Structure 1
C-alpha cells in the first residue's frame, strides 16, 4: 500500500510539475513578447519613414528601445552596412505583406535573444529583439525548484503512505500474530481484541469474523475432547470384561463345560456391545450432512418397516401404528431407519409387558409414545446428551448414545426431535418435520435441549 501510494503521488506530482513548468515558461515568454511588442511600437513611433537598416543596435534586458532594424521586401534596397539581426525570407514576406508577424529565438553577439518581425510600412518590415537571458534563467530555476518540490512530495507521500498502511493494517497484523500463536499453541480460546463499538470497518469485521470462527473451533475442539473422554470412559468397562473373558477362555482346560459355555456367551455378548458402541461413536462423529445421498423418502412405508422389525426384536411389546396422509421427506433412508429404530427401541425398553408403544405419523410430526415410568423432571434437560443415562436406566442395556444419535440424524434432515412427559404417564418423543422453526411451534413442552431417559 505504501508503494502504491508513493507511485500514485509520484505520477500526480510528475503531471502537476510538468504542467506548472509549461505554465511558468509560457508566462515568462508571454512577458518577453509583450516587451517586444512595446519596443516595436516605440520604434515605429520614433522613426515612421526610416529607411532600411539598423535603428537601434543595443539589445537590452526587457527594455525599450531594443535592437531594431527595418527590412525591405526587395533585397536590392538593402543598405550597404550589414544587418545586426538575421534577415530571412519570412521577414521579406512580412515586409511584402505575404506573411503574418511572428516571434523567433535567435542569438545576437553570443547572447540568446527573442525577435519580433512585424509589418512597418509599405514594402518594409520591422525587426525588434531583446535578450532572453533572464527568461531562460527563470525557466531553469523554475524547473529546478519544481523537481525539488516534486521529489520532496514523493518522499513525504512515501513516509505518510507507510504510516497510514501500518496503522490501517494493524488489525491484520494482530490477526496474523494471533493465527500464528494459535498454530503454535493450539489454544483456540485466544481472541483478537476489537475496537469499541462505533469504529467498525472492513478489517474490524474481519477480526470479528475471525473471533467467531475461533469460537466455533473452540466449541468443536471441546466437543471432540468430551466425546473422546466419554468414549474412553464407556469403553473401559466392556474392554476390561472382554480381556477378562478372553484370559479365562485361554485357560479353557481348567474350566468345566458349563463355565466355558458361559464365558463364550459373555464374550460374544460383550463383543456385540462393543461393536455397537463403536458404530454409534462413528455415527455420532460424522459431521457431514447427508446431502450427497438425498432421495425422496416416503415415511409411511418406512415407519411400517421399522415397527415390524421392532416387533420381531421386542415380541413382548405390542406396537400400534397410525399414519394420516402421505408424508415425503428428502433424506437418507438408512439414517432415517436408524433414527426410528432408536426411538422404538428406547420406547420398548421402558414399556411394561402388555402395554403398547403407540406410533403416529402426520404431515407435521412423528410421535412415539410408551406407557412406562415416564421422564423425571430432573432428567429431562440431559437425555439427548451423549452417554447420559438416568438412574432408572443404568441397569438396562445400552450405551446412552441412541437418543443423541437420533437427534443428530433429525437435525441433519432439517427436523427437530423433542421429548416430553405423555399425558396419563409414559414418555412421548416428537419428531417435528420441516426444520427447527417448525419445532419451536410444534414441540411445546418439549423441554428445549432436554430429552428422555437415554438409551
Structure 2
C-alpha cells in the first residue's frame, strides 16, 4: 500500500512539471553526476600519484641505508623523523626480540616486522605517526634474518592532497551551476521545435485556422524533431485542404439548394390556394412541384454520397466488370430510349477471369453509380441518332473502360474543371443536372484505386477513361 502511495505522490509531481523543466533537471543531474565523478576520480589519482612518489623516495632511501649500514646491528641507523628537513630515519630490526637494543626502537615494531625479518612476509608500506607527525614507513628485508624500516614525514604529500581536495571541491561547486545552465540550454534548444509545434497547435485550436505552419530549420539540419514538425505541417496541409473542401461544398450546396427550394416554396404556396386555380394551373404546379422535389432529393443524395471518403470494407467483393457494364448499359437504354448505346467488351474479359483482368475488388452498387453517372452525362450531350460508345478493354492486363459521346465535346478552358463539384460549362447550363455527377464519379473511382480522366475525343465529342489498377481505398479525392 505504501508503494501505491509513493507512486500516487510522484505522478502529480511529474504532471506538474513541464517537459522542458524535466529535461533540464535530467541533463543537470547527469552533467553534475559526471562532474562530481570526475572530481572524485581526480582526487584518487592525485592522492595515488603523491603517495607513489613518496613510496619511490622510501625505496631509494632504503637502498642507501642498506648500503651504509651493511654490518650494523639492531637499532637506529640514521636520522630522526621529527625534523621536516631531516633525511629518512632508518633502523634494523632482528627476528628475535631478545636481540633488540636496550633503549628500544625509534619506529614502531610489530609482529609483521618480525615476519619480514624472518622472510615470512613480503615488504610493505604503512602510515605511522612519529613524534606527533604523520609519516610513511617501508618495512623490507635485510641481511642475516633482519628487517630494515625506513620512514619519511608525509607533510608534503598531505599538503598536496589537501590543496588538490580544495581545488576539486571548488571545481565541483562551480560545475553544478554550469551543469544547470547547460541543462537549461539543452532543453531550450532541443525542444524549440516542440515548443513551436505546441504553439502552432494551440493557435490552431484557438483560431480554428489550419493555415498556420511550423517554421522548419534550413536544409541539412534535419533531425527527429524536425521530421515530426514536417509531418505535422503535412497533416496541417491535409487538414486545411479538407476544411477548405468542406467549406466549399457547404457554400456550393447552399447556393445550389437556394433556387430549387425557392421554387418549391413558390409552388407549395401556389397549391395552397388551389381553389383559385384552374385545373390546368393546378396540374402544372403539381407537376413542377414533383420535378423540383425529385431534383432536390437527387441533389441531397448526391451530397451525401460525396461526403463519403472511402468504401465500406464489409461490402467489398470481386466484381465482374463485363456483367456490371452490360447491366448499366441496359439501364441507360431504358432511361434514355432516344439515345443508342454501342457496347463492346474484349473477348478475354467476357469470361470475367481474374487473371485476365475481368474482375476488380469493389462495391457493386457504388461502381454501378459511377457507370450510371458517366452514361447519363454522355447521353445528355449526345445528339439525336448518334451513339454513345462504351468499350471495356484490358491493356497491359489492367481493365480500362471508355465512354465516348459525339456531342459538342469539352472546351479547353473547361477541361481542368470538369470534375469539380457544381461546375457546369456554359454550354450545359440549360440542361438538367446539379453538376455533381462527374465529381461523384471521380470520387468513387479513386476510392476503388482507379483513375477517371476526361479528354476531347478525336473527331468531336467527349471521352471519359476509367483505368483500374490500384488498391481499394488507396486514393481519395473529391474532384
State the TM-score bracket (shorter-chain normalisation): 0.7 to 0.9
Cα distance in 2, alignment partners of residues 188 and 358 from structure 1: 45
User: What's the offset of the Cα at 1:371?
Assistant: 2.9
- In the aligned structure 2, how far is the partner of 1:66 from the partner of 1:374? 117
Structure 2 CA distance for aligned equivalents of residues 193 and 65 of structure 1: 75
Q: Does 1:231 align with 2:266?
A: no
> Are the equivalent residues in 1 in contact too, given 2:318–2:359 (CA < 8 A)?
yes
1:281 is displaced (CA, Å) by 0.8
Tell me what 1:139 maps to: 161
Any conservation in 2 of the 1:21–1:142 contact (CA below 8 Å)? Answer: yes
Aligned pairs for 1:144-183 within 5 A: 144-183=166-205
Aligned partners of 1:105 and 1:115 also within 8 Å: yes
Question: RMSD of the alignment, in Å?
Answer: 2.7
2:58 to 11, 29, 36: 36
Query: Which ranges of structure 2 fall in alignment gaps of 5 or more residues?
Result: 1-22, 350-357, 472-476
Q: In 2, Cα distance between the equivalents of 1:343 and 1:153?
A: 76
The CA distance in 1 between the partners of 2:181 and 2:276, in whole Å, is 90
Describe the superposition over 1:246-265 as per-residue Cα deviations: whole angstroms up to 9, x where unpaired: 23333344444444444333
Q: Which residue of 1 aligns with 2:372?
A: 341
Q: Contact 1:120–1:126 at 8 Å: present in 2 too?
A: yes
CA 1:418–1:93: 2 relative to 1, 3 Å: closer
Shift of 1:63: 5.2
1:292 Cα shift? Answer: 5.3
Whether the 8 Å contact between 2:87 and 2:152 is mirrored in structure 1 is no
Change in CA separation of 1:73 and 1:245 when aligned onto 2, cut-off 3 Å: same
Residues 273-322 of structure 1: CA distance to partner in whole angstroms, max 9, x if unpaired?
11110111111122225555432211100011111111221222222211
| 1:94 aligned onto 2:116 | yes
**Is residue 299 of structure 2 the alignment partner of residue 282 of structure 1?**
no
Cα offset for 1:231? 0.4
Quick check: 4-13 or 361-370, which moved more?
A: 4-13
Helix, strand or coil at the partner of 1:121: coil
1:270 has 2:305 as partner? no
The answer as to 2:454 corresponding to 1:419 is yes
Indicate yes or no: 2:359 matched with 1:328: yes
Matches within 5 A, 1:52-201: 52-56=74-78, 58-60=80-82, 65-201=87-223
User: Matches of 1:128 and 1:134 in 2, distance apart?
Assistant: 17
Query: Greater shift after overlay, 39-48 or 351-360?
Result: 39-48
How far apart, in 2, do the equivalents of 1:381 and 1:71 lie? 112
Question: After superposition, where does 1:305-324 map in structure 2 within 5 Å?
Answer: 305-324=327-346
Q: Which secondary structure does the structure 1 equivalent of 2:465 belong to?
A: strand
**Alignment check: 8 A CA contact 1:43 1:65 kept:** no
User: Quick check: 1:406 aligned with 2:437?
Assistant: no
1:93 to 1:241, Cα distance in 2 relative to 1, 3 A: same
User: For 2:72, which of 50, 53, 78 is the aligned residue?
Assistant: 50
Shift of 1:423: 3.4
> CA distance change for structure 1 residues 421 and 65 in 2, over 3 Å: closer, same or farther?
closer
Q: Is the 8 A contact 1:116 1:128 kept in 2?
A: yes
Distance in 2 separating the partners of 1:63 and 1:246 = 125
Is 1:300 equivalent to 2:322 in the alignment?
yes
Contact 1:42 1:65 in 2 (8 A): no
- Matched residues in 2 for 1:420 and 1:125: separation? 112
CA gap of 1:274–1:21, structure 2 versus 1, over 3 A, is same
- 1:214 and 1:181 map into 2 onto residues whose CA distance is 12
Q: Distance in 2 between matches of 1:379 and 1:137?
A: 95
SS class of match (2:142) = strand
The equivalent residue for 2:385 is 354
- Provide the residue aligned with 1:366 in structure 2: 401
Instruction: Describe the shift of the 1:27–1:390 C-alpha distance in structure 2 as closer, same or farther (beyond 3 A).
Output: closer
Paired residue for 1:440? Answer: none
Alignment partner, residue 383 of structure 1: 418
In 2: Cα distance, 1:421 partner to 1:35 partner: 104
* Alpha-carbon distance, 1:399 to partner: 0.5
> Is this contact kept in 2: 1:35–1:62, CA < 8 A?
no
Deviations 1:108-163 (A, max 9, x none): 23322222222233132222222223322322322232232233234323323422
Q: Does the residue aligned with 2:455 lie in a helix, a strand or coil?
A: strand
Deviation of 1:11 after TM superposition, in Å, equals 3.6
Greater displacement, 327-336 / 228-237: 327-336
Alignment length (residue pairs)? 438
1:40–1:128 CA contact under 8 A, matched in 2: yes
Shift of 1:66: 3.2
